[in-house]
Chain A
């Protein structure tokens, strides 16, 4: 048996008011992939940030290849051969692939950057992964999947022995995911230690040999993946609580047509989109990354100008056209990235909940906001959605991801919209928070609203949707019934079958 490449012993870390890690120990071996599992707030990020030199532990030792080390900074971690592939792509979009890959270690000659040698190094690193790019291309012109390849190739330049992947598949399509797994297998074959952080349990069984499960800052289990079951993992993650059956499927009877989109057109993004949604149904919008799902939602909300087409809405007196950007548009949008275009992070829960509904807290004669009504509404939705907080005045930046997402949903609930558009509503959330959001989505449809949602999690979209719409490169190519198989959905999204309308 080989010696462990990494041993972390008795790691403790406290932040003001929270004990993030209460003495965690684990070891990882060369050529092996170790899954780091835990609900949000279990301490995974803190533990990995300590390994990456981003934060310093209060107590505990780190031993790399048998040598005890202190990691004071990210650059020191890099020198020790520890690389971090982040959940959010951490590249500089306007710089070239070459600059992005070399940025922390430009080869020099006579004090100037030696681009010729750099290019050779980068080509070599990429070809080891089986890729070839035009290195002068700006990174922003690459797909998210390709950007991740660049990020991984960058870690190869530094001869990393330990590579940490933090939720690496969250912005990838299924084909890109397969490609990533190939790369991880290759890295393992070279003797690299992989630490793989994820919420997606299926991936653990696919790519990891061992797993460490954290809960509330403590290690609750470390074992070989083959000895674990899905339910067993979930149970360990959430502790003694009942295992929530988070994929429930119940039949719904859709009502009359509520909304019809006709010939939606936006140059370069949306190509002649036609569909309708009924009251009381959940429609899953499926497609690969970049197929125009987010763009469709934004166009329906009036956030991006459309160049053609219209929306008809039937609010009880027949279908009537409505301008997407008008205040009367009864749609609410839960955006893909709650931090950049969902929340006012430094502001209170109350402020965030009332944001879309402020007009209803003033009267025509008195321009000031009715504070008591605003507070009452905030308290009501904190209770309804079970938003865990100390008070409605708590800043949303200090809430967990799941509770933040509930605030975004609650904001729209206050305006009682007829149509909910949700773009990856459970991305980055833990199992429990996901289950809560799933029941919120089902509840909305049961109450007669229409929900249209995007998810890259195939299981999730399969279990929640009453019907599927599939997009390929800006076109709506197919409508599929609830009974559709995974295979059919995947195949349609990759453009392997015929099209619907608009030809």
Chain B
């Protein structure tokens, strides 16, 4: 903390301000929506309702955290929801044919992680473009999950599985606890651990990272593997919550929700910035928007329009601040 020479101090202050502003926009929006909803909707401010919102966004929140890791590296993972539905379908079929729920959970996580590794391998080692890779695997896994089930939902999931997964821990159902725990651990690892630092470094400037002996390929691979892993957790949660599994639980609408959660949570689509907790808040925000639009009986298609606009607006803000801050665009 020393100054040898008067530095154009004003410049740094401004950079700091602008990066702060974008971080507070989702929080501010969230508060605004909360205020409006609590005034309009009876019982909105009840604990029960709060918990119910958290349950609703547990699957979305998990996937948004997975995407965050990938976005930080400057990548993109569109396949998360279809990977989630595919692994859910496989696990559900296993349980329907009498398999143990515990092994089913393991299967779901393994299948999804394997899918993530596939993405990671293609991006990191075959040097393919993330968008193309995950758009293709989105089609592959999404298609496979409908193909395997003939487009039907897989029913006959054991009650034991559902009650165990949805079991309350204190006042929170287990999915909410899983989400919060994953969010905190992921947040700490991303911001404080060696691997986390590498993640941001690779996303900010992969060439500089390589020169500094950071194993960039491994870092990239790891981020996709992680997003696959949390997609597996999301599969368990979703299957239990719905009581069924099917190809439609990872539809295009969900992809949009996952991406918008991360973007609203301050994760930069250009890489190098964002946190898991931010994505978590973004997921709550998206769920509240959906619920609000439901409440005013807007059609599904209108919610798509609104969410699409929200994404574009946030990405625009992000680029504006980046340019002002003299970042690399």
A and B associate in one complex: yes
Interface residues of A, Cβ cutoff 8 Å to B:
15-18, 301, 303, 327, 329, 333, 335, 340-347, 351, 354-356, 358-359, 361-362, 367-369, 371, 379, 382-383, 386, 388-392, 394-395, 397-398, 411
Q: Which of B9-17, B37-45, B170-178 contacts A (4 or more CB under 8 A)?
A: B9-17
Task: Tell me the nearest residue of chain A to B10, going by C-beta.
Answer: A17
Chain B residues with CB below 8 A from A303, complex form: 210-211
Enumerate 21 A-B pairs (CB-CB under 8 Å) in ascending A order: A16-B10, A16-B11, A17-B9, A303-B210, A335-B211, A341-B208, A341-B211, A344-B208, A345-B328, A347-B200, A351-B201, A354-B197, A355-B209, A356-B213, A358-B197, A358-B198, A367-B194, A388-B3, A390-B7, A398-B15, A398-B326
- What's the count of A-B pairs with C-beta under 8 Å? 119
Report whether A16 and B14 are in contact in the complex, using a CB–CB cutoff of 8 Å.
Answer: yes
Chain B, residues 256-286, CB within 8 Å of chain A (1/0): the string is 0000000000000000110000000000000
Q: Report the Cα distance A335→B3, complex, angstroms.
A: 27
Report whether A395 and B10 are in contact in the complex, using a CB–CB cutoff of 8 Å.
Answer: no
Chain B, residues 38-63, CB within 8 Å of chain A (1/0): the string is 00000000000000000000000000
B192-212 residues with Cβ-Cβ distance < 8 A to A are 192-195, 197-198, 200-201, 204-205, 207-212
Category for how many chain B residues contact A:
35 or more
Q: Report the Cα distance A390→B8, complex, angstroms.
A: 9
Starting from the known contacts A341-B211, A344-B200, 13 additional A-B residue pairs (CB-CB under 8 Å) come to A17-B10, A303-B211, A327-B213, A335-B208, A341-B210, A344-B201, A355-B197, A368-B192, A371-B192, A395-B15, A397-B15, A398-B12, A411-B212
Smallest distance from the beta carbon of B157 to chain A beta carbons, Å?
37
Q: Report the Cα distance A355→B197, complex, angstroms.
A: 8
Report whether B197 and A369 are in contact in the complex, using a CB–CB cutoff of 8 Å.
Answer: yes
Q: Report the Cα distance A397→B324, complex, angstroms.
A: 12
Smallest distance from the beta carbon of B267 to chain A beta carbons, Å?
14
Chain B residues with CB below 8 A from A386, complex form: 4
Q: Does B2 contact A (CB under 8 A)?
A: yes
Chain A residues with CB below 8 A from B8, complex form: 15, 17-18, 398
Task: Tell me the nearest residue of chain A to B204, going by C-beta.
Answer: A344
Task: Tell me the nearest residue of chain B to A20, going by C-beta.
Answer: B8
Smallest distance from the beta carbon of B320 to chain A beta carbons, Å?
14
Chain A residues with CB below 8 A from B211, complex form: 301, 303, 333, 335, 341-342
Q: Report the Cα distance A388→B210, complex, angstroms.
A: 27
Using A346-B327, A355-B201, A367-B195 as known contacts, say yes or no to A383 and B210 having CB atoms under 8 A apart.
Answer: no
Task: Tell me the nearest residue of chain A to B215, going by C-beta.
Answer: A327
Q: Does B189 contact A (CB under 8 A)?
A: yes
In order of increasing CB-CB distance, the 6 nearest A-B pairs are A17-B10, A341-B207, A18-B8, A356-B212, A368-B192, A344-B204
Chain A residues with CB below 8 A from B326, complex form: 345, 397-398
Smallest distance from the beta carbon of B86 to chain A beta carbons, Å?
31
Smallest distance from the beta carbon of A367 to chain B beta carbons, Å?
5
Using A358-B194, A369-B197 as known contacts, say yes or no to A390 and B12 having CB atoms under 8 A apart.
Answer: yes
Q: Report the Cα distance A394→B201, complex, angstroms.
A: 16
Chain A residues with CB below 8 A from B200, complex form: 344, 347, 351
Q: Name the one of B11, B13, B194 contacting A15, with C-beta atoms under 8 angstroms.
A: B11
Chain A residues with CB below 8 A from B214, complex form: 355
Smallest distance from the beta carbon of A55 to chain B beta carbons, Å?
14
Q: Report the Cα distance A18→B5, complex, angstroms.
A: 13
Chain B, residues 1-34, CB within 8 Å of chain A (1/0): the string is 1111101111111110000000000000000000
Chain A residues with CB below 8 A from B204, complex form: 344-347
Chain A residues with CB below 8 A from B327, complex form: 345-346, 397
Report whether B189 and A17 are in contact in the complex, using a CB–CB cutoff of 8 Å.
Answer: no
B271-329 residues with Cβ-Cβ distance < 8 A to A are 272-273, 322, 325-328
Q: Report the Cα distance A354→B198, complex, angstroms.
A: 11
Q: Report the Cα distance A354→B200, complex, angstroms.
A: 13
Report whether B3 and A390 are in contact in the complex, using a CB–CB cutoff of 8 Å.
Answer: yes
Chain A residues with CB below 8 A from B197, complex form: 351, 354-355, 358, 369
Smallest distance from the beta carbon of B15 to chain A beta carbons, Å?
6
Q: Does B188 contact A (CB under 8 A)?
A: yes
Task: Tell me the nearest residue of chain A to B189, going by C-beta.
Answer: A367
Chain A residues with CB below 8 A from B14, complex form: 16-17
Using A341-B211, A344-B201 as known contacts, say yes or no to A359 and B328 having CB atoms under 8 A apart.
Answer: no
Chain B, residues 158-199, CB within 8 Å of chain A (1/0): the string is 000000000000000000000000000000110011110110
Report whether A390 and B207 are in contact in the complex, using a CB–CB cutoff of 8 Å.
Answer: no
Chain B residues with CB below 8 A from A351, complex form: 197, 200-201
Chain A residues with CB below 8 A from B194, complex form: 358-359, 361-362, 367, 369
Chain A residues with CB below 8 A from B10, complex form: 16-18
Q: Report the Cα distance A355→B208, complex, angstroms.
A: 9
Report whether A394 and B208 are in contact in the complex, using a CB–CB cutoff of 8 Å.
Answer: no
Chain A residues with CB below 8 A from B207, complex form: 340-341
Chain A residues with CB below 8 A from B322, complex form: 346
Task: Tell me the nearest residue of chain B to A362, going by C-beta.
Answer: B194
Chain B residues with CB below 8 A from A17, complex form: 8-11, 13-14
Using A18-B8, A390-B9 as known contacts, say yes or no to A346 and B272 having CB atoms under 8 A apart.
Answer: yes
Report whether A395 and B208 are in contact in the complex, using a CB–CB cutoff of 8 Å.
Answer: no
Report whether A355 and B11 are in contact in the complex, using a CB–CB cutoff of 8 Å.
Answer: no
